[in-house]
Each structure stands twice: as C-alpha cells, then as structure tokens.
C-alpha cells in the first residue's frame, strides 16, 4: 500500500498557534485508524477517497506549502502510514524550515510514536475517550483509553517542552484535543484527569464544534449538537483536573463551513497530474 492523500492546502481553522495569520500547511491522508460514526471527514477516513503519491511528490507538496507561507506542515490522520512516512520526514527535516505537526487520532502504539522522535516537532493528538464502551461503540476502537494515554505520554517524552516564537506560533510541543460529545461529560472528565496525570502543563483544546453529520442525524445520542451546559461542564473538568494551558471554542463555531472540501481534481492539479479524470 502506497501513501494516499486527499487534500493539500492552507488551513485556517486550527488552534491560533498552529494556524496563525497565514494558515497551517495541511496534508490530509486517506483512511484513518479509527472509524468514528460521527466523522466529519467521512469520505476520506471511511471511504478512502484520495490519490496515491510518491515520496518525492509528498516532499514537493510540503515545499510548496512552505513557499505559500504555511506556518507549519500539518499531517492530518497520518498514522496508517507511519512507517512509509519516516523516510519522507527524514528528508523533510533537512529541506524545510517550518515545524512538522503530527495531527492524529491518538490511537497509536508507543513503538510508532518513538520512531517519530526528532522528525516531528508538534504533536496534535485527539484524546477522544476515557470510556472504552463509548470508544468501541462510536469508533470501533478496542481499549482506546490505555492506548491513547500511553501514546500521548510518549509524545510528551518526544517533545518535552512547549516552545513558541515571538508571534506566539508553536515551534514544538504537544496540544491534546478533546471533542466533547453529546452526553459526553463523564467521558470528558476522565480524559481531563488522564491528561493531567501525564502533565498538568500540557496544552489542551476543549472542542465544542461537534455537529451531527447525516450519518448520525437519527442517532439517539449523537443526533444533536452540544448544549452549553455540557460544554461548560467539560471546561470545568479541564480546570478541576488541574490543567491550566489550553484553548476553548464558541459553540456557534459548530458548522460544516469548517469541513474541508476534498476535491481530487484540485488535488491532481496541485500535484501536476495533468491526465487525471475524477470518476
């Protein structure tokens, strides 16, 4: 299996220290090691929409994003390709001046995260569940909690210091994301406690942007947006766990506007694949 990607471009809707003014240079990979029912990028994560690229093409994409002004190279759902990406990242490190971001589901092995040491500057993992029943029911992930806890602890070891430049852009470190789900307050509490056990100074993004996609529109629990009370309880859980560095969101930011368009023709043009026909 080669590396498949679904989108390359500047993205403005990450945390401020990642997106900055000019945008984060995102590369969306096809496929995901989770299968979340509520996934907003369903066509790439579940259906595998994308184009295969060579290591050279991927490196060229990264260089072009840097030339376009990207603050960083943001590898989105890269985990299925970890071994194939290692040699690419080794070359990228000598070619690029901007940081590399590993933007993953958090469901990864410690062995794989260790391989990324020195190749990835910023880790941006999800920590979705402390409740393994929810993890299995919503994302088909067995034992998610322990796996994610260990993976994120290793990310912290790989990048022990959170470093920012004079403009507040992150140069290295870890930001853990938690998407609060409907009826997910107890789950959020467990996640916040586990993050604090790893490091109370770690940056946490408490995300309230959940909205039901058509796939879960009729789901008994997932078929609605968060309430303000749920989001407030999740942010309280952040503080109660002793965490103090982080990001919050306005609940009205929960909109499909932020879901990227995966246009393979546009991607093919970016890659210079002139004979591409999208079926």
Task: Give min distance, CB of 148 to ligand SF4, in A.
Answer: 11
Q: In this structure, what are the phi and psi dihedrals at residue 148, rounded to the nearest 5 degrees? A: -65, -40
CA distance 263 to 205: 28
Nearer to ligand SF4, 51 or 179 (CB): 179
Task: Give min distance, CB of 268 to ligand SF4, in A.
Answer: 22
Nearer to ligand SF4, 47 or 165 (CB): 47
Nearer to ligand SF4, 32 or 176 (CB): 32
CA distance 174 to 153: 10
CA distance 22 to 200: 30
| Contact (Cβ atoms closer than 8 angstroms) between residue 44 and residue 38 | no
Q: In this structure, what are the phi and psi dihedrals at residue 17, rounded to the nearest 5 degrees? A: -80, -5
Task: Give min distance, CB of 130 to ligand SF4, in A.
Answer: 16
Nearer to ligand SF4, 116 or 169 (CB): 116
Quote helix, strand, coil % in the chain, to nearest 5.
40, 20, 45
Task: Give min distance, CB of 97 to ligand SF4, in A.
Answer: 28
Question: Quick check: helix, strand or coil at residue 92?
Answer: helix
Task: Give min distance, CB of 242 to ligand SF4, in A.
Answer: 27
**Of 199, 213, 254, residue with least CA distance to 231:** 254
Nearer to ligand SF4, 59 or 215 (CB): 215
Which residues contact ligand SF4 (rule: CB under 6 A)?
32, 34-36, 39, 41, 45, 77, 105, 139
């Amino acid at each position: 299996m080669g590396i498949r990607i679904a989108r390359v471009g500047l993205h403005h809707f990450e945390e401020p220290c990642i997106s900055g003014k000019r945008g984060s240079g995102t590369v969306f990979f096809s496929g995901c090691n989770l299968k979340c029912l509520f996934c907003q990028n369903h066509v790439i994560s579940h259906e595998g929409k994308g184009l295969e690229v060579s290591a050279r093409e991927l490196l060229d994409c990264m260089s072009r994003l840097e030339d376009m002004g990207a603050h960083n190279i943001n590898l989105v759902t890269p985990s299925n390709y970890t071994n194939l990406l290692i040699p690419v990242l080794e070359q990228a490190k000598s070619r690029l001046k901007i940081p590399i971001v590993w933007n993953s589901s958090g469901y990864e092995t410690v062995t794989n995260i260790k391989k990324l040491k020195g190749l990835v500057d910023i880790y941006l993992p999800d920590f979705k569940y402390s409740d393994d029943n929810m993890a299995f029911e919503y994302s088909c992930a067995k034992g998610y909690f322990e796996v994610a806890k260990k993976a994120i602890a290793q990310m912290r070891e790989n990048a022990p210091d959170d470093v920012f430049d004079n403009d507040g852009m992150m140069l290295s470190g870890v930001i853990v994301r938690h998407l609060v789900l409907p009826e997910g307050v107890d789950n959020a509490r467990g996640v916040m406690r586990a993050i604090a056990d790893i490091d109370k100074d770690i940056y946490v993004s408490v995300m309230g942007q959940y909205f039901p996609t058509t796939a879960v529109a009729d789901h008994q629990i997932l078929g609605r947006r968060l309430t303000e009370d749920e989001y407030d309880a999740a942010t309280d859980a952040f503080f109660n766990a002793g965490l103090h560095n982080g990001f919050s969101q306005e609940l009205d930011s929960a909109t499909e506007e932020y879901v990227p368009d995966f246009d393979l023709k546009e991607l093919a043009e970016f890659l210079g694949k002139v004979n591409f026909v999208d079926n």
